[in-house]
Amino acid sequence: MRYRKSLYLLPILAIILLATGKLLAQQNSVSRRFAVIAYHHGPGEIAAAYPVEKLTHIIYSFLHLDGNCLAAGTTDSISIVQLVGLKQRNPNLKIILSLGGWGGCPTCPDVFATETGRSEFSNSVKELMIKYNVDGIDLDWEYPALGSIPGYRHYPEDKQNFTMLIRSLRKALGDGYEVSFAAGGFAGYFIKSVEWTEVMPLVDRVNLMTYDYINGYSTKTGHHTPLYSTSQQKESTDYAVRFLDSLGVPLEKIVIGAAFYARTFSHVSHRNNGLYRNCKFEGFTGFRDLDEYFSRHDGFKVYWDSIAQAPYAYNPKERIFATFDDSRSVALKTNYALDKGLNGIMFWSLTGDNPQNGLIGIIYNTLNQNNGLK
């Protein structure tokens, strides 16, 4: 009789074990897959004040070219060593070196146009990986084949040369190091700058810069880092993800971006609380300093755009408009990345956050609430 009961119980136990195994596998898969990436610009020692235990990656920004090679000067070397030292607090933390940045790669089109240039660069990257015990390279070439910066050289062939650069890097680095790149979050970049089907199988992820949609060149206000498009503003985080999905880019290799800073604009009409009005770019304010900025310019009121899923603020007395991410929008972006099965979320930049009780904590708590991650 006991034998027969055990026979009946076996299928039930098998189902329970299978379900439990699947749940654990899903949780482990999410925890392995979901990246929380901080771009860090500045001295490495500053990063120690932040909750690096809640990050998966820190990308040191930026190194530049010296001839055909990636170069780290004395200041860079000190910062990199300091960042690698943070692995004592978070052994799973990966430290990535980044090339370029806005205006930081003026010779990229020429260097990467030749096999010699690509090869020498790739070998220099491998040498730095070994020298500093770091974990990968992030390419921030802004932007292949696009004349985004006045006076900078760019060629239509940049698109194909970028593919060959990625191939060269992967060959030199093998599978032991990560290769990623920062991508513009707009349609012109998606179409003209990258051969997606060629590049994506070779990289670990693409870090979408889904911010600066309204920037220093803008003549009208708007959301600089919206989650969704509006009738007045087509480009957004969701628009970028859907565009890349339509090009066949694997969702599990896409990282979306959050902005840990506000962009502010002056000479803005009070109509529509300053949203989608003529303007003059004023400057940047880190998220950690935003409350103080609002207090200094008395009269600000914060609004929420339920379509864009983004905050903004307007000061009618001084006619100043501000666009930014906050706790609510960052939590929504994190949930969006989870729901879509994306690779993760990244942000520019670490020092824009509050060291305690900041936006990093919002990302971390959102992950825990949705997936039970610890």
Q: Model confidence over 154-207: pLDDT tens digits?
A: 999 999 999 999 999 999 999 999 999 999 999 999 999 999 999 999 999 999
Cross-strand bridge partners of residue 180: 138, 205
Query: Shortest CA distance to 255 belongs to which of 105, 38, 109, 71?
Result: 38
Q: Rounded mean pLDDT of 232-245?
A: 98
Element (H, E) at 179: strand 178-184
pLDDT in tens, 11-67: 444 444 444 444 443 443 334 569 999 999 999 999 999 999 999 999 999 999 999
E-assigned strand segments in 244-364: 254-259, 261-266, 280-286, 301-305, 310-315, 320-323, 344-348
User: Mind giving me the DSSP string for 23-73?
Assistant: HHHHHHHHHHH-EEEEEE-S-GGGGGGS-GGG-SEEEEEEEEEETTEEE--
| pLDDT mean over 125-139 | 98
Distance CA 138, CA 70 (A): 12
pLDDT (tens digit, 9 = 90+) per residue, 344-355? 999 999 999 999
pLDDT value of residue 150: 86
- Which pLDDT does position 10 carry in this prediction? 42
Measured in degrees and rounded to the nearest 5, phi and psi for residue 268 equal -105, 130
pTM of the model: 0.91
Q: Which of 142, 198, 252, 292 is catalytic?
A: 142
pLDDT tens-place string over residues 268-320: 999 999 999 999 999 999 999 999 999 999 999 999 999 999 999 999 999 99
The pLDDT score that the predictor gives to residue 148 is: 84
Residue 98: CB atoms within 10 Å? 24
CA atoms within 13 A on the CB side of 128: 29
Cβ–Cβ < 8 Å for 256, 347? no
The mean pLDDT of 132-138, rounded to a whole number, is: 98
Whether the pLDDT of residue 9 is over 50: the answer is: no
Q: DSSP readout, 182-200? A: EEESSHHHHHHT--HHHHG
pLDDT value for 11: 45
| Angle at the Cα of 62 from the Cα atoms of 201 and 224, rounded to 5 degrees | 80
Q: What is the token pair recorded at 231?
A: 């009738």
pLDDT for residue 3 is more than 70: no
Closest Cα partner for 142 from 133, 152, 127, 129? 152
Distances (CA, A) of 95 to 40, 42, 228, 309, 334: 10, 14, 31, 32, 22
Specify whether 252 is catalytic: no
Span 137-163, pLDDT tens digits: 999 999 999 988 888 999 999 999 999
